[in-house]
Structure 1
Amino acid sequence: MKNRQYSDEFKEQLIKECQETGNVALVARRHEISPNTIHTWISKYRKRGTVKSLPKT
């Protein structure tokens, strides 16, 4: 299993794609990413209105 870093723009693009298709599993398969990863991004997006990380204190 690889530990990858994805840009905020890429994450937002995939979230938008999931909203358009209504299918997280399909988008995850297309981009070879775990559906759980995308669900995590969506959860963070809903909580903050963005997928960008909070600044560390």
Structure 2
Amino acid sequence: MFDKFKKSELFILVIVLVLIFTSEYYYVILNNHERAIFIGLWPPTIVGLLIFFNLKLKK
């Protein structure tokens, strides 16, 4: 299943998962909502850039 992904893509996806869990930690455990929202906005941005660059490389 993971053989279709490049190592760099898997690395980026792991970073995205870490950022999501970090955001949840700040929101639920530390009760720091502003920092949690700031951190939580990065994963969709990173995934969007990953999709954009993959589409550009395929053309």
**TM superposition score normalised by structure 2:** 0.38
Higher helix share: 2
Larger radius of gyration: 2
**TM superposition score normalised by structure 1:** 0.39
